[in-house]
Every structure is written in structure tokens, then in C-alpha cells.
């Protein structure tokens, strides 16, 4: 049973672009259980499949910190059809990362988030055309205003892609609100990586911006490009995968509390 979970979640080309590059289809394991159930566990709520406890790929107890989060993860297991597809289980994969990795070295994860605060997506603006400049301002300026008004963090946006060093006190102010709880930390890290913006991730975690607004803000440039050059189906497939990751992470922030 322990080897099953490692087989399902390890060494899988989850990203559509990576799968296409490898020209392989993920090897999926057949569904071997009837139902996922919740069970009380030390430090939270466990999940079992027909009474057998779920484990992480590193053979650790799979325990969620709250019952709502455990229920959402169990729903992913119940939603699997004839085969178990880890690409359709972003909450489970994020939970595996928390238990097997983030909880062991939270400082390194927090440091990676902090690096984004020095070169955040929201800082670098287009010079032209005006329609794109205006869209960026409408989507991104409110987040910078929140950081300034709530934490006194006066970040400096710039036009172009040349790196601009941000005020140390601004970075430190937002760094201080990076979560320390491994679950919330992992969720903020996931949102940061997916969007390229630690500011958006922290604004979601602080309840300063809703999930849909944040997702739209992260894709201002991409959406504008599509209005000019048309749709790229492979890019949209990859974007759908990223959105599932993004929304799973946002769900963790909500369900952990």
C-alpha cells in the first residue's frame, strides 16, 4: 500500500508542456478503492481509502490540519474515475509537498518567497501601447496601494524590464507577513510561483484581494497578447493546469483559516 502512493505521485510529467516535450502519457494506476473517508488523527484529520490510511510518497501519515481541508482532499480521491490521475488532484499534491518537504525546511521556502518581493511581476510595466499600460495600472496599482497603506511598503514600479532595486524597508515590511505555518506558507509559495508575484500571494493570504481578481491581475500581459495575436491552445492548456494549482493553494489558505 505504501508503494502505491509513491507510484501515483512521483515521477509524473504533470505539466502539459513537459508531457508534450517528453512525448509520453502519464502512467496512471487503476482506482483500487471504493470510497475515501475521514478519520481523527493526531494533529488533525486523516484520510483513508476503504479503511486503509493514505500516506505521502515519503511514507508519512497524510494528515490535514482541519476537517474542511481534509474533506476537500478526500473529494479529490472520490472524484477519480477508473484511473487515479494526479494532474486532477492539486490539493493532494500540495498536501504531499507540505508534509514531505515544506514542514522540514520552512525557512528556505520563506526565503524564496522573499526573493520575489525584490523583483515582483507588479513592478515591471510596459512603456507602450497605452491600452496595455492602462490595464497593468488598473490591475496592479491597487495591490501596491494596499502594501503601501497597510504596511508602509513603498515599492517602486518602473517601465521596462531592467532590474530596479526595491527599498529594503519595503521588502522587509512584506517579508514580515510571510506565513510561518507550513500549510499557509506552502500555499503562498505556490501562488507566488504560479503568478510570479509574491505581492498577489500575500494579498490573497491577507484577504486584501479575491482569488478571481488576483488571477486576472497575474495574466494582464498574457490576455492582452491574446487579443493581439490570437489564442495559443497549448499555452491555454498549460494555463488551465496552473490555474488549478493556483485555486488549490487559495483553497488551502481559506480552509486552514
Q: Report the chain's terminal Cα–Cα distance, integer Å.
A: 32
Burial of 63 (0-12, 13-18, 19+ CB in 10 A): buried
Grid cell digits, residue 50: 476503504
| Start-end of H helices in 176-210 | 182-195, 198-205
Question: What is the distance of C-alpha 79 from the center of its chain?
Answer: 21
Same domain, 245 and 147: yes
Is residue 196 within 8 A of residue 116, CB to CB? The reply is yes
| Pairing, β 44-49 against β 52-53 | antiparallel
**Residue 214 banded pLDDT, cuts 50, 70, 90:** very high
pLDDT tens sequence across 178-201: 999 999 999 999 999 999 999 999
pLDDT at 147 over 80: yes
Same domain, 30 and 68: yes
**What pLDDT is attached to residue 1?**
52
The three-state secondary structure class of 232 is: coil
Residue with cell 496552473: 242
Domain range for 71 is 2-93
Q: Mark which of 93, 121, 149 sits at the end of a domain.
A: 93
pLDDT at 98 over 50: yes
Tally of domains within the chain: 2
Same domain, 133 and 243: yes
Please give the mean pLDDT across all residues of the chain: 92
**Residue 2 banded pLDDT, cuts 50, 70, 90:** low
Q: How far is the C-alpha of 97 from the C-alpha of 6, rounded, in Å? A: 12
Same domain, 84 and 125: no
Q: Which neighbouring-strand residues pair with 158?
A: 124
Q: Which neighbouring-strand residues pair with 36?
A: 49
Residue 98 belongs to a domain? no
Q: How far is the C-alpha of 102 from the C-alpha of 135, rounded, in Å? A: 35
Range in 21-25, 245-249, 250-254 with the lowest mean pLDDT:
21-25
| CATH code of residue 186 | 1.10.3580.10
Q: What is the mean pLDDT of residues 54-60?
A: 95
> With the C-alpha atoms ordered 239, 179, 96, 83, is the resulting torsion angle positive or negative?
negative
| CATH code of residue 84 | 3.30.2180.10
Q: Find, among 3, 2, 84, the residue nearest to 36 by Cα.
A: 84
Same domain, 119 and 236: yes
Full-model pTM: 0.91
Q: What is the mean pLDDT of residues 48-73?
A: 96
Burial of 147 (0-12, 13-18, 19+ CB in 10 A): buried
Same domain, 89 and 118: no
Same domain, 27 and 152: no
pLDDT tens sequence across 8-55: 777 554 454 454 444 455 678 999 999 999 999 989 999 999 999 999
Range in 64-73, 86-95, 204-213, 221-230 with the lowest mean pLDDT:
221-230
Amino acid at each position: 500500500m505504501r508503494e502505491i502512493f509513491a507510484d501515483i505521485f512521483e515521477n509524473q510529467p504533470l505539466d502539459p508542456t513537459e508531457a508534450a516535450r517528453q512525448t509520453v502519457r502519464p502512467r496512471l494506476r487503476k482506482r483500487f478503492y471504493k470510497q475515501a473517508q475521514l478519520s481523527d488523527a493526531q494533529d488533525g484529520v486523516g484520510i483513508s481509502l476503504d479503511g486503509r490510511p493514505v500516506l505521502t510518497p515519503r511514507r508519512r501519515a497524510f494528515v490535514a490540519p482541519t476537517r474542511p481541508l481534509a474533506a476537500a482532499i478526500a473529494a479529490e480521491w472520490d472524484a477519480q474515475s477508473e484511473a487515479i490521475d494526479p494532474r486532477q488532484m492539486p490539493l493532494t499534491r500540495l498536501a504531499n509537498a507540505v508534509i514531505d518537504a515544506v514542514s522540514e525546511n520552512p525557512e528556505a521556502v520563506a526565503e524564496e518567497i522573499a526573493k520575489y518581493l525584490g523583483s515582483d511581476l507588479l513592478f515591471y510595466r510596459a512603456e507602450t501601447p497605452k491600452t496595455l499600460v492602462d490595464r497593468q495600472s488598473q490591475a496592479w496599482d491597487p495591490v501596491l496601494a494596499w502594501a503601501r497603506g497597510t504596511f508602509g511598503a513603498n515599492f517602486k514600479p518602473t517601465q521596462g524590464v531592467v532590474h530596479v532595486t526595491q527599498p529594503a524597508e519595503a521588502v522587509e515590511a512584506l517579508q514580515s507577513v510571510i506565513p510561518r505555518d507550513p500549510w499557509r506558507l506552502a500555499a503562498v509559495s505556490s501562488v507566488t510561483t504560479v503568478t510570479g508575484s509574491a505581492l498577489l500571494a500575500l494579498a490573497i493570504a491577507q484577504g486584501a484581494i479575491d482569488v478571481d481578481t488576483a488571477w486576472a491581475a497575474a495574466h494582464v500581459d498574457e490576455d492582452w497578447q491574446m487579443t493581439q495575436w490570437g489564442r495559443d491552445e497549448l499555452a491555454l492548456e498549460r494555463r488551465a493546469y496552473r490555474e488549478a494549482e493556483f485555486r488549490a493553494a487559495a483553497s488551502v489558505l481559506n480552509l486552514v483559516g
